[in-house]
C-alpha cells in the first residue's frame, strides 16, 4: 500500500490545496471543492498493469467531471466504487441517485460524472483501464444502471469489501498481480451478466474479451478452448466461431503470442536456456518451439539469442 496523502502531516493552511490536487488526478481530471472538516488519508495499491485500488478516508468534498474535462489525454478506464460509510452520492448516466452506502457504483470515466461526499466518509474504488478490462465502453454504460441485477453482484461486493484487508496481509509480489487479475475477471463477468442478453456488443466483444484474457495468461499450459469457454460462460463451439469469424484459429493465435513473449525474453536473457524459455511460455516440446520460432522469425532461438 502507498499512502498518497495524509493531511495530519501537513499544516492546516495547506491541507485543502493538497486534497484538491490529489483528488483531481486520482480518478480522472475533475473540478474539486473541499469543505470542513478538511481532512483526508488517500491510499493506493497497484494490482498489476492497468488495475488500481483506492481507499480514501475523507471529509466532505465534491468532484465534478464535465465535458470540458474530457479530452484525448483522459485515462480510458472504469471505476467500480464501494462507499463503506458516511454519505456519498453520485450522478452518472443512468445510475440511481442517492446515498448508496455499501452498494457498488459502476462508472465509465470517459463520460461526465458528479461525485459528492456530504460528511466524513470511507470509500474505496477499483480502477481498471479499458485495455485491461477487455470490454467495449457500450457494455459498461449499458451495465451502469443494472449492475445489481447480476447474479454475481453480491460475490463481487464482498470481494471488494475484503480486498484492502487481504492486500495488507500479503507480500507485494506476483500474488498481488494474480489477485488483481482475478478481480478484473470478476468485474468483467459481473458487467457482462448485468447487460441485457440481446445487447449487440455481447457477440461483437467476445473476440476482444478472449484475446485480452489470452494476452494475460500466455504462459499457462492449459490455455485452450475448454478453459476459455469455462472462464467466459460460453460454449467451446462459440470460442472457435469467434476466431473463425475473423479468419483466425485459436491455437495459432495462442502460439503466436507465446512466440512473441519468448522472442522478447530470449533477447533480454543471454544466459537462460532455450528449453527453459520454451517451457515457461507453454511449449511442451523445445523442438516444436524451435521449429515454430524459425518459421516465424527466420532464425533459430539460439541464433536469435546469440545475435542479441
Q: CATH code at 298?
A: 1.10.10.60
Stretch among 74-78, 251-255, 267-271, 295-299 having the lowest mean pLDDT: 267-271
- Render pLDDT for 112-134 as a digit per residue (tens, 0 to 9): 999 999 999 999 999 999 988 87
- Under the banding of pLDDT at 50, 70 and 90, the label for residue 270 is confident
What is the number of structural domains in the chain? Answer: 2
Asked whether the beta carbons of 123 and 84 are under 8 A apart, the reply is: yes
Q: How confident is the model at residue 74 (pLDDT cuts 50, 70, 90)?
A: confident
Q: Provide the pLDDT confidence category of residue 172 given band limits of 50, 70 and 90.
A: low
Quick one: 68 and 173 in the same domain?
A: yes
- What does the block give as the cell for 221? 499450459
Identify whether residues 168 and 274 lie together within a single domain. Answer: no
Final residue belonging to a domain, choices 189, 212, 245: 189
Cis check for the bond before 82: say yes or no (omega within 30 of 0).
no
Asked if residue 307 is part of any domain, the answer here is yes
Is residue 83 a part of any domain in this protein? yes
Residue 194 lies in a domain: no
Q: Identify the residue with better confidence: 80 or 210.
A: 80
The average pLDDT across 29-45 equals 92
Of the pLDDT bands very low, low, confident and very high (cuts 50, 70, 90), residue 199 is: low
Q: Which of 158, 189, 220 is the last residue of a domain?
A: 189
Q: What is the CATH number of the domain that holds 114?
A: 2.60.120.10
pLDDT at residue 125 in the model: 96
Residue 195 resides in a domain: no
238 in the same domain as 258: yes
More confident: 284 or 59: 59
Residues 60 and 151 in one domain: yes
d(CA 203, CA 145): 21
Residue 63 has a pLDDT of 93
**Residues 214, 174 within the same domain:** no
In this prediction, residue 99 carries a pLDDT of 76
Using the 3D structure, point to which of 163, 189, 215 is the last residue of a domain. Answer: 189
If phi > 0 it is left, if psi is from -120 to 50 it is alpha, else beta; for residue 98 that is left
Instruction: Establish if 196 belongs to a structural domain.
Output: no
Q: Are residues 67 and 159 in the same domain?
A: yes
Give the confidence band of 9 by pLDDT, cuts at 50, 70, 90: very high
Please say whether the beta carbons of 67 and 53 come within 8 A.
no
Q: How far is CA 156 from CA 77, 105, 169, 190, 265, in A?
A: 18, 12, 20, 8, 35
Among 119, 54, 60, residue whose Cα is nearest residue 81: 54
pLDDT value, residue 205: 66
Domain boundaries, position 182: 2-189
Percent of the chain clearing pLDDT 90 (strictly above): 51
Element (H, E) at 8: none
When pLDDT is cut at 50, 70 and 90, the band that residue 215 belongs to is confident
| Residue at grid coordinates 524451435 | 290
Let me know whether 182 and 212 are in one domain.
no
Q: Looking at the structure, tell me whether residues 129 and 158 fall in a common domain.
A: yes
Amino acid at each position: 500500500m502507498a499512502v498518497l496523502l495524509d493531511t495530519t502531516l501537513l499544516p492546516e493552511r495547506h491541507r485543502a490545496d493538497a486534497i484538491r490536487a490529489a483528488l483531481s488526478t486520482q480518478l480522472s481530471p475533475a473540478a474539486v471543492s473541499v469543505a470542513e472538516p478538511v481532512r483526508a488519508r488517500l491510499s493506493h495499491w497497484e494490482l498489476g498493469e492497468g488495475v488500481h485500488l483506492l481507499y480514501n478516508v475523507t471529509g466532505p468534498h465534491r468532484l465534478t467531471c464535465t465535458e470540458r474535462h474530457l479530452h484525448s489525454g483522459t485515462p480510458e478506464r472504469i471505476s467500480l466504487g464501494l462507499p463503506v460509510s458516511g454519505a456519498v452520492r453520485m450522478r452518472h448516466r443512468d445510475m440511481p441517485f442517492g446515498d448508496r452506502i455499501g452498494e457498488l457504483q459502476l462508472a465509465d470515466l470517459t463520460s461526465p460524472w458528479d461525485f459528492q461526499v456530504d460528511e466524513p466518509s470511507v470509500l474505496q474504488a477499483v480502477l481498471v483501464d479499458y485495455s485491461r478490462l477487455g470490454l467495449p465502453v457500450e457494455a459498461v454504460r449499458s451495465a451502469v444502471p443494472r449492475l445489481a441485477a447480476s447474479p454475481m453482484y453480491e460475490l463481487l461486493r464482498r470481494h471488494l469489501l475484503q480486498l484492502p484487508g487481504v492486500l495488507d496481509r500479503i507480500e507485494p509480489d506476483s500474488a498481488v498481480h494474480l489477485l488483481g487479475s482475478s478481480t478484473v475477471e470478476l468485474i468483467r463477468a459481473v458487467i457482462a451478466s448485468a447487460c441485457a442478453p440481446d445487447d449487440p456488443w455481447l457477440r461483437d466483444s467476445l473476440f476482444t474479451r478472449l484475446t485480452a484474457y489470452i494476452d494475460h495468461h500466455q504462459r499457462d499450459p492449459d490455455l485452450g478452448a475448454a478453459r476459455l469457454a469455462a472462464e467466459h460462460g460460453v460454449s467451446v463451439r462459440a470460442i472457435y466461431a469467434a476466431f473463425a469469424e475473423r479468419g483466425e484459429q485459436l491455437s495459432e493465435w495462442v502460439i503466436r503470442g507465446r512466440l512473441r513473449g519468448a522472442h522478447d525474453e530470449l533477447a533480454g536473457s543471454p544466459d537462460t536456456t532455450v528449453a527453459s524459455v520454451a517451457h515457461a511460455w507453454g511449449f511442451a516440446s523445445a523442438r516444436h518451439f524451435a521449429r515454430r520460432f524459425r518459421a516465424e522469425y527466420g532464425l533459430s532461438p539460439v541464433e536469435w539469442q546469440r545475435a542479441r
